[in-house]
Amino acid sequence: MDRRFLTVYWRDMLRYVRFRALLFSSLVQPALWLAFFGIAMSSSFDAIASQVPTVPGIPRVGYLTFMCAGVISMTTLFTSLFGGMSLLFDKNWGLLREVMAAPMARSNIVLGMGLSGITKSCIQAGIILLFGLLLGVRFFDGYSPFQTVIAIVGILGFVSVFALGFVFLSAAIALSMESPEGMQGIMTLLTMPIFFASNALYPIEAFPPVLQMVSAINPLTHMVTGIRYFAIGPEFSAIGRTFTYSTTDLMVSFGALCLFAAITFALALYRVRVARIT
């Protein structure tokens, strides 16, 4: 088995660790966003939800718990979409030419970047989970230790597949761009519609029909569904609504993320194979 993609992975992780400012901001910013935005908004939404009668037998969670899954997804989205930026810098500085000239298949570049994106996203997801629990997020409420471990593994599984899809997409875009400014503009253009046209911050049932259709195929929606299923449970009440996720919903969401990752992998592999670096 060709393991030379591990060299690409290790190099990207070293760069991530050595850039202290980038490492610090990528770890602290999501936690601060959860703390300030989450706590500020939770008081308003919880006051509204308190006026709605509870359904017997269905646990009620606060808005902070509800949106924590969205913050994890948002962080993974941003990290993954900007993961291909290092390829663009390598391309502009001439380093990518040396990597492509190395005696290894070009697919190793894509695989190494994908594994690096998974590692970064899982680290950040773990930090947000821990910080959220310290803030009062009711994840794994009533779970046994074994159930908690299974839930964490399930969350990281969804995070990993989601991160793969967007790292591959980011790599394909980076190999097609010439300037960091142009790529940053495209990334910014993509992140806002993907994030807000999802169930990360609010239920999609109140969306207009067109946005509901967009949300149904939005990878971020499927990731949030998986996180809430594992972290909160298959049925709960939040912001005055009852949410129910079946095992079928979970499998459909995971399958959609796998399909998205497969498509973007094929796109990234095509771009790296036809790339001509001078």
Most confidently modeled range among 71-85, 88-102, 258-272: 258-272
User: For residue range 175-193, what is the model confidence (pLDDT) as tens digits?
Assistant: 887 777 777 788 888 888 8
Q: Indicate whether 1 pLDDT > 60.
A: no
User: For residue range 10-40, what is the model confidence (pLDDT) as tens digits?
Assistant: 888 888 777 766 667 766 777 777 777 777 7
Per-residue model confidence (pLDDT) at position 48 = 63
Task: Compute the distance between CA of residue 197 and CA of residue 199 in angstroms, rounded to an integer.
Answer: 7
Task: Compute the distance between CA of residue 29 and CA of residue 22 in angstroms, rounded to an integer.
Answer: 10
Burial (CB < 10 A; 0-12, 13-18, 19+), residue 251, is exposed
In this prediction the pTM is 0.89
- Tokens matching residue 83: 């993961």
Q: How many domains are contained in the chain?
A: 1
- Tokens matching residue 128: 């947000």
Domain housing 23: 5-274
- 20: Cβ contacts below 8 Å, ≥ 6 apart: none
